[in-house]
């Protein structure tokens, strides 16, 4: 079974703090993704990576950066957290960067920025 | 622009009352359509992938079908444990990420 884990289930941070969200997958997947999910807006893609040290912007990259130093680990960084970044953050991975590849999701991190 | 629309937004069923959820899409060449289930506060759980019109897949009380413009998730004799949000996503042609719909929130009442 594919397993995608996220470093925290719940996180509370203050405005202006630097926040790291980590995601690890154990299935040797090539691709990894970061989404945020908000009521009424659905899932929105922030960044994705199809190889180590590679990254691509998604639909809403502003205010975020990512790091992929190892194949199994993909980090999302909020350089200076703001209240509008309060959200559910979901990491996903898929085997190959090829059409029709199923994405598998982690359990999510609910971030509250005060 | 690639788009996925799910309907209804919310659906309330009595236990045993069969129904269908709809996912309509406009994409530049469909390469795959995915259904996920999401429980409150958790990540989406993969259910099905459909690749071509006419394809069907089943799992317990769920059956997914695909046409050239839409997919249906049929729920037969649902139980309260089927209550969840069901998400549909499509992968357009080329190496592009999935496009997700906003989901249908299903409640099954005993």
| Token code pair at residue B58 | 């089943």
Q: What is the mean pLDDT of chain B?
A: 94
Hey, is the C-beta of A57 within 8 angstroms of any chain B C-beta?
A: no
Q: What is the DSSP string of A28-97?
A: --SEEEEEEEETTTEEEEEEEESSTT--EE-S--TTEEEEEEETTEEEEEESS--GGG-EEEEEEEESSS
Specify the pLDDT at position B103: 97
Size of interface A-B (CB pairs under 8 A): 55
Is residue B38 pLDDT above 70, yes or no?
A: yes
pLDDT classification of B29: cutoffs 50, 70, 90 = confident
Q: Which of A4, A42, A97 sits opposite B101 (nearest CB)?
A: A42
Hey, is the C-beta of A106 within 8 angstroms of any chain B C-beta?
A: yes
B42 vs chain A: nearest CA distance in angstroms? 5
Spatial contact of A58 and A29, defined as CB atoms under 8 Å apart: no
Mean pLDDT of B63-81: 97
Specify the pLDDT at position A63: 96
Local structure of residue B54 (DSSP, 8 states)? T
Could you report the per-residue pLDDT of A18-71, keeping only the tens digit for each? Answer: 999 999 999 889 899 999 999 989 999 999 998 898 899 999 999 999 999 999
Q: Which residues of B touch A97 (CB under 8 A)?
A: 95
Give which of A42, A46, A107 to mutate to test B binding, by max B Cβ within 10 Å.
A42
Mean pLDDT of B71-75: 98
| Token code pair at residue A97 | 């960067």
Greater confidence (B97 vs A90) lies with: A90
Specify the pLDDT at position B59: 94
Is residue A97 pLDDT above 80, yes or no?
A: no
Q: Which residues of A touch B49 (CB under 8 A)?
A: 100, 102
Spatial contact of A66 and A76, defined as CB atoms under 8 Å apart: yes
B86 vs chain A: nearest CA distance in angstroms? 11
Chain B residue with Cα closest to A111: B41
User: Quick check: A105 and B94 CB within 8 A?
Assistant: no
Query: Ramachandran region of residue A7, left (φ > 0), alpha (ψ -120 to 50) or beta?
Result: alpha
pLDDT classification of B30: cutoffs 50, 70, 90 = confident
User: Quick check: B97 and A43 CB within 8 A?
Assistant: no
Mean pLDDT of A104-112: 97
| Token code pair at residue B77 | 């004799």
Mean pLDDT of A73-86: 97
Specify the pLDDT at position A99: 43
Mean pLDDT of A89-112: 86
Polymer length in residues for chain B: 110
Local structure of residue B79 (DSSP, 8 states)? -
């Amino acid at each position: 079974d594919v397993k995608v884990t996220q470093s925290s289930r719940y996180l509370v941070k203050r405005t202006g703090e630097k926040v790291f969200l980590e995601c690890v997958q154990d299935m040797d997947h090539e691709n990894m993704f970061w989404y945020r999910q908000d009521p009424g807006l659905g899932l929105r893609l922030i960044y994705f990576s199809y190889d180590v040290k590679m990254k691509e912007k998604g639909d809403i990259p502003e205010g975020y950066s990512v790091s992929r130093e190892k194949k199994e680990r993909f980090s999302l960084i909020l350089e200076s957290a703001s209240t509008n970044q309060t959200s559910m953050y979901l990491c996903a991975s898929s085997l190959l960067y090829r059409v029709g590849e199923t994405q598998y999701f982690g359990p999510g991190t609910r971030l509250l920025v005060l | 622009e690639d788009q996925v629309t799910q309907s209804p937004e919310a659906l309330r069923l009595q236990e045993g009352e069969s129904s269908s959820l709809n996912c309509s899409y406009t994409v530049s060449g469909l390469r795959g359509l995915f259904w996920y289930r999401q429980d409150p506060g958790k990540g989406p759980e993969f259910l099905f992938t459909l690749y071509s019109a006419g394809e069907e897949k089943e799992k317990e009380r769920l059956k997914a079908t695909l046409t050239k413009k839409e997919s249906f998730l049929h729920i037969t004799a649902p139980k309260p444990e089927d209550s969840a949000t069901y998400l549909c996503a499509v992968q357009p042609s080329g190496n592009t990420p999935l496009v997700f719909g906003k989901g249908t929130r299903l409640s099954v009442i005993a």
